[in-house]
A and B are shown apart, each in its own frame.
Chain A
Amino acid sequence: MEEPKWSGRASFVLASIGSAIGLGNVWRFPYIAYKFGGGAFLVAYIIVLILIGIPMLLLEFSIGYRFKGSAPYSFEKLSKERRMPVNFEWLGWFAVLVGFGIVTYYSVIMGWSFDYMFYSIKTAWGENTREFFYQRVLGLTHGVFDLGRISWPIVIGLLFSWVWIVLSIWKGAKTVGKVVYVTVTMPWVLLLIFVIRGLTLPGALQGVNFYLTPNWKELLNPALWHAAISQVFFSLTVGFGVMIAYASFLPEGSDIVNNSILIALADAATAFVSGFAVFSTLGYYAQLQGVQVSEVMKSGPELAFVTYPTIISKLPLASLFGVLFFLMLLTLAIDSAFSLVEAFVAALMDKFGIRRQFANIGVAVAAFVIGILYTTGAGLYWLDIVDYFMNHFGLFTVAFLESLVIGWLYGAQSMRDFANSVSERPMGTWWNFSVKFIVPLSSLLIFASALRDRIREPYGGYPRLAEVLGGWLILGVFLIVSIYLTNLKTKRSD
């Protein structure tokens, strides 16, 4: 069964950018930048992006383009070609399973955004946005084992998200390539609207000052580099087999070096520009409240669903800006969500030779059912735990091993020769060094420091049992399933 290819270069580039750009660009990057020395962090971020981000992206594009298949398929071919002692197909499965783990809750956040688009029409959150989000919408309980009730509006939002995801990847690259023209450009336009709106508010510059003013001393702080490395990895959607699958749909004669540079820079530029939207608005809010910008600075769901609605209520045309803001979140998230599903679907198709539509719906139904857990009163707690474990331990395990396998077992030079042979713009020898040393060492560093933190105390003050169930157990199951699938002989794999 021949897989459909991208219809053109723009489809592939936009789809990859869409996958990389997500909620993190808007609600995490500006906050981290502010926390670690403002302008100094931006400089560090660009250095890490060039030394680690671009090489990692090119690494995954090379694997997918070279072996023309999903992550497990490509790793299997790669292991056989070099007669490696271990069949690394399992690593591909582990990567796509971690991606699947992420999309189970990512789609729930999309569900919240979907609901908030409707709440925006009448600014239903009222004066107390915090109470509205945590109590009315989430029905948050007091503990992680107190599930409370299922929030039906979120279930409906979740269902909507999944219908949208399934339709977006219905015919693989063929549909994705068309959908991304809208779902990637739309958040850019909306973001620009929010940058202009933000910068024209009183007090905006006060906020932007917080964002850009560099504290150069922070460059000596190891925590800054730790944060920059994590943010680069989180942002580029590497380590989930997505970029491997996307590159496998590239037609002959595609340039992968130039594309990886373009995609990495576009992702960083989006995060950089988001900072202006976020900080100008927070500057305005701080002035309104008569407090410092640092006091209103928040990240994650708190920023998007508590702080932003409060500010939106105070703007003229509040309903319009509310709808546009949550539409922006939705369109930012959708491309990342369906890329993670696509990576898994492509892997299942390669292994079992099943029909695409069958795999699509199967994955969607499974993720939807799991997602219902996050719509309960304890959903936010579980979402937080699973998010932490998938990103810190899942992602960095894959990044570490992927760079080792290619850098040392397959041969960085040999992979670079391949990448350069198909690209007009050559990648320098420094790429070998990055893949062999910088990427594995930095991934190991993040992994080890997260592990040390978890040995000291459970994540986020949750009970150990919750951490084991929502973190270690899931990763353990993913690992066992990966090994099982690798050893499973199917008609396709023979």
Chain B
Amino acid sequence: MNWQGIVVLILVSFILFGGIIQALYYANKKGR
């Protein structure tokens, strides 16, 4: 796989899964 593809993979995964983890963290912290 070329380096640009790898950059996209890391970037997209970071935004999507990072965002999900953050949202889950928020939800558990506040309990709602």
Contact = CB atoms under 8 A, between A and B. Distances in A.
Interface in A192-214: 205, 208-209, 212-214
A424 B22 CA distance: 13
A85 interface: no
A38 B7 CA distance: 12
A209 B5 contact: yes
Chain A interface category by residue count: 20 to 34
A43 B32 contact: no
Contact of B8 (A39, A262, A424): A39
Contact of B20 (A254, A265, A425): A265
B11 A268 contact: no
Interface residues of B, number: 22
Please report whether the interface of chain A is mostly helix, strand, loop or mixed according to DSSP. helix
Nearest to B23: A262
Contact of A43 (B2, B12, B24, B26): B12
Nearest to A41: B8
A487 interface: no
A276 B17 CA distance: 15
Contacts of A259: 27
Contacts of A208: 1, 5
Interface of B: 1-2, 4-9, 11-13, 15-17, 19-20, 23-24, 26-27, 30, 32
| 4 cross-chain pairs, A with B, having the tightest CB-CB distances, nearest first | A39-B8, A212-B5, A262-B23, A269-B16
16 contacts: A9-B27, A38-B8, A39-B5, A46-B15, A208-B1, A212-B8, A213-B2, A255-B26, A262-B20, A262-B27, A265-B16, A265-B23, A268-B16, A269-B16, A424-B32, A425-B26
Interface of A: 9, 38-39, 42-43, 46, 205, 208-209, 212-214, 253-255, 258-259, 261-262, 265-266, 268-269, 272, 424-425
